[in-house]
Structure 1
């Protein structure tokens, strides 16, 4: 039940910063993060908030504050369910359904929530997607199982290397190298037939599709710095994937 107690400026800023942090860490576009933070502040009658968001940090202030607040983003992943839940909290705040304490508590719960699907469900989805991508790229059905197995194993390497090694793009490079290696083994043994189609289908779950989409949307929204930085990250990720495959192909 909403009380009549007006929240303090510090409490409102805490909610805005936490909401922006969760969204940015989980794949939201820059302009969406800024818009959500400003709407939350406006819901508590702070009508002139200012936010500046980049892929690695958030700066937020309102006119009544003596100094802006800053938070650095060091880890980013993709969990659009969390983004949707933060948007839902923001809408409830705007409609007056939540107090400031309730909103902050719900945001903390959203932040603490792990992935909706287990690792093995993710691997299974990546494996099936790899086989389906092979068919979509006009591969033969007899290569469906090799692509399915290759993509699944490659995605397992990607998940565990991402957790073990902090070096950016290393997981993508090694995973694509493993995919290329397994695909070559399948073709050499006669189980697989079209090496290029098996590799293309298997690396598709690693391709940074969300990064590319967000980069374009941020550029179209006028966030040039964020758009260019996300585009550069997507390019380097694609380069790492291509390099891993190229190393194997050069020996094959």
Structure 2
């Protein structure tokens, strides 16, 4: 175990930077706010900051080495879903707690984790979205003739959402445009007689767009008494679902 000892000012600042880096990676990768807070405090305690305090919201991290020291603030602008990074940071945190990592080693590993790109390339994500769309279509009692249209519509809608997320700065607009494309493609398939039920195609294809992780994290934060974060994530999930529904409805209104 790491011995408890006096921490110099330089060491304290390095520890704070490591804690903020770990918290930033986790929050940007879709971790629950209570998990981010717990990880940061555990790392600080392991390195000798026994009175560290942290407060996390979906868009910000506040951390102090004690109740009387200045508070450090980090703004989180973009968030993605990358549970692999969350797992990696948790692993680093556990190794820090058991004394297997020095401060410099922990900093180097966390920087490597932050620099990692997506775990899976885009084509794998599109294949997964297609498989999920087709599977959900059958699960929702769609016909096998709806399976292939759902594969195509689901993968293209998911790809469109990822593209719009990268190019547009307006929140929820990517989901809205992607759902418009989804509804239009499903309508085209039905018009050409490919697929038996347009409703089942749309229901299956829209599932990869649904903010499932966000909803799960909102519930878990509420259960952990993180009311601000839980309510904020619930509102974000609701607005995302509204954008998806509005996009599909817009196609039916137009055609």
- The TM-score bracket by the shorter chain reads over 0.9
Counterpart for residue 248 of structure 1? 251
- 8 Å CA contact 2:221–2:230 kept in 1: the answer is yes
Distance 1:243 1:131 in 2: 22
Counterpart for residue 73 of structure 1? 76
Counterpart for residue 143 of structure 2? 140
The yes-or-no answer on 1:197 pairing with 2:200 is: yes
Counterpart for residue 45 of structure 2? 42
The yes-or-no answer on 1:89 pairing with 2:92 is: yes
Counterpart for residue 158 of structure 1? 161
The yes-or-no answer on 1:122 pairing with 2:125 is: yes
The yes-or-no answer on 1:184 pairing with 2:192 is: no
Distance 1:156 1:52 in 2: 35
The yes-or-no answer on 1:237 pairing with 2:240 is: yes
- 8 Å CA contact 2:130–2:152 kept in 1: the answer is yes
* Residues 215, 102 of structure 1: alpha-carbon distance in 2 compared, 3 angstrom cutoff: same
Distance 1:151 1:66 in 2: 51
Q: Which runs of 5+ in 2 are unaligned?
A: none
Counterpart for residue 227 of structure 1? 230
- 8 Å CA contact 2:6–2:48 kept in 1: the answer is no
State which of 23, 26, 30 in structure 1 corresponds to 2:29.
Answer: 26
RMSD after superposition? 1.6
* Residues 107, 97 of structure 1: alpha-carbon distance in 2 compared, 3 angstrom cutoff: same
Residue 64 of structure 1, CA deviation = 7.4
Residue 54 of structure 1, CA deviation = 0.3
Q: Deviations over 1:22-49 (max 9, x none)?
A: 0000000000000000000110121111
Q: Say which SS state the counterpart of residue 133 (structure 1) adopts.
A: helix
Residue 137 of structure 1, CA deviation = 0.6
Q: Say which SS state the counterpart of residue 21 (structure 1) adopts.
A: helix
Counterpart for residue 111 of structure 1? 114
Counterpart for residue 105 of structure 2? 102
Number of corresponding residues: 251
* Residues 115, 72 of structure 1: alpha-carbon distance in 2 compared, 3 angstrom cutoff: same
Q: Which runs of 5+ in 1 are unaligned?
A: none
Off by >4 Å, runs of 4+ in structure 1: 2-7
Distance 1:142 1:108 in 2: 48
Q: Say which SS state the counterpart of residue 48 (structure 2) adopts.
A: coil
Q: Deviations over 1:122-153 (max 9, x none)?
A: 00110111000000111001110001011111
* Residues 190, 97 of structure 1: alpha-carbon distance in 2 compared, 3 angstrom cutoff: same
Q: Deviations over 1:46-82 (max 9, x none)?
A: 1111111000100000227631100000010000000
Residue 179 of structure 1, CA deviation = 0.5
Superposition TM-score, scaled by structure 2 size: 0.95
